[in-house]
Structure 1
Amino acid sequence: MQLNPEKDTELSQKVNRETARLPWSELMRHFASGNVVWIADELDLVDVAVRIAHDDKASVGQWMAAGQIAKVSDAQARDWLETDTSLWACVVSPFILVQQQKIRH
C-alpha cells in the first residue's frame, strides 16, 4: 500500500490533537454498540489510528493475530468500570480506539 508521508503527518497530527483521556464510564454506550477497540500498550495509538484510517489490512491483521488489537471484551469492560479506569481514546469512525497508556515514540 502506497502511503503519502505528508498526508500521514497531517492525519497523525489531527488524530493526536483529537486523542483524549476519558473515563471508561463515558465510553460504555459505544462499547454496547460494539464499536470500541482495545489497542495494546506497546503499540502507538496514533499510528494504529492512522493505519486503520488508511484501511491498512496487512498491519491491522498482524496486530489482531498477535492479540494487540481486539474488540473490548466484557471482562475488560467490567474491570474498567469497577476500577473507574480512564483510557486514552480516539475516534476512527465508526470505531473508538482505546489504550490504557498512550505511547508516542
Structure 2
Amino acid sequence: MTAVTPPDAHLIIDEHDPALIEAKIISETAKISWLDLQKFYAAGSVLKVAAQADLVKVALALQQDDTAKISRWLASAEIGQPSVEQAQQWYQQQTQLWAVVIAPWVLVQQRD
C-alpha cells in the first residue's frame, strides 16, 4: 500500500514561514470604524500602534511572540492600550482605523 500525501500537507510546513505569515496578516488588515471596535476596547483587547510604526511588523512580532521587540515597543509607547481620551476622540469623530486581529488582540493604527 502506498501512502498518500494529503492535498493540504504543505500548510503544516508553511505555517512557520515568516513571509507567508506576513502575507496572511497583510490580507487580513483593513480599515474599520472605531464605533465597530467598542466591545473589544471595553474588553481591554485593543492595542494602539503608533502612526510611525509598521502595523504589519508589529502584528507579525505579536503572532511570533517576539517578546524582545514587543517589550521595546511597549517601553517606547509605540504600542499600548489607547487612553480613554483617545478612545473618546475616535468615538466622537467616528474615526476609521487600520486594524488587524492577532488573537486575543485587535491592533489599530490611525494614519492621516
TM-score where L is the length of structure 2: 0.83
Q: Which residue of 1 aligns with 2:98?
A: 88
Q: Within 2, Cα distance between the matches of 1:64 and 1:47?
A: 14
Gap regions ≥5 residues in structure 2: 1-15
Two-structure CA RMSD over aligned residues (Å): 1.3
Percent identity of paired positions between Structure 1 and Structure 2: 36
Q: TM-score, normalised by structure 1?
A: 0.89
**Cα offsets for 1:11-62 (capped at 9, x unmatched):** 1100000001000000011000000000001111011000001111100110
Whole-angstrom CA distance in 2 between matches of 1:64 and 1:101: 19
Question: C-alpha deviations, 1:36-90, integer Å up to 9, x for none?
Answer: 0000011110110000011111001101111110012211110000111000000
CA distance in 2, matches of 1:22, 1:94: 17
Q: Which has the higher contact order (CA 8 A, sep 6+)?
A: 1
Residue of structure 1 in register with 2:9 after alignment: none
Alignment of 1:7-86 (within 5 A): 7-86=17-96
What are structure 1's unaligned runs of at least 5 residues? Answer: 1-5
Instruction: Give the ranges of 4+ consecutive aligned residues of structure 1 lying more than 3 Å apart after TM superposition.
Output: none
